[in-house]
Amino acid sequence: MRIVDDALLAEFRAAWRCEVCGKPTPSGCDPMHCFSRGAGRLDIRQNLLAGCRSCHQANPDGRKLLAIVAKREGTTVEAIKALVYRLRRTRR
């Protein structure tokens, strides 16, 4: 499945602080995907976080990113994985 949400990406770009390192980002953030876009583009809140350019280029561990998103969304890493895997299996 492919989900592209330009409005959601713009929301993450407009973030004023990196969700990974916590540093302020006056010029905006890069939307980071927990699960790579190469495996099927899923622009959903549970697969995205706002990252500074340094964190995005450093390519942090996906487990760390999932933990950050799970905390932000008030859910578990396992629930996010289940959602993403279910969406990946869905064909359009």
Q: How many separate domains does the chain show? A: 1
Asked whether residue 12 is domain-assigned, the answer is: yes
Asked whether residue 82 is domain-assigned, the answer is: yes
Q: What is the pLDDT of residues 7-37, one digit of tens each?
A: 999 999 999 999 999 999 999 999 999 987 7
Torsion of CA 59, 63, 64, 70, to 10 degrees: 130
Asked whether residue 21 is domain-assigned, the answer is: yes
Going by C-alpha positions, the residue among 29, 56, 12, 91 that lies closest to residue 65 is 56
Asked whether residue 33 is domain-assigned, the answer is: yes
**CB atoms < 10 A from the CB of 54, how many?**
13
Q: What is the pLDDT of residues 33-73, one digit of tens each?
A: 998 777 678 999 999 999 999 998 887 788 899 999 999 99
| Structural domain range at position 79 | 6-89
Asked whether residue 1 is domain-assigned, the answer is: no
DSSP state of 32: E
12 neighbors 29 (Cβ within 8 angstroms): yes
pTM here is 0.86
Which pLDDT score, from 0 to 100, does residue 55 have?
92
Question: What is the rounded distance in angstroms from the CA atom of residue 30 to the CA atom of residue 17?
Answer: 11
Asked whether residue 22 is domain-assigned, the answer is: yes
Asked whether residue 45 is domain-assigned, the answer is: yes
Residue with tokens 């279910």: 86
Asked whether residue 48 is domain-assigned, the answer is: yes
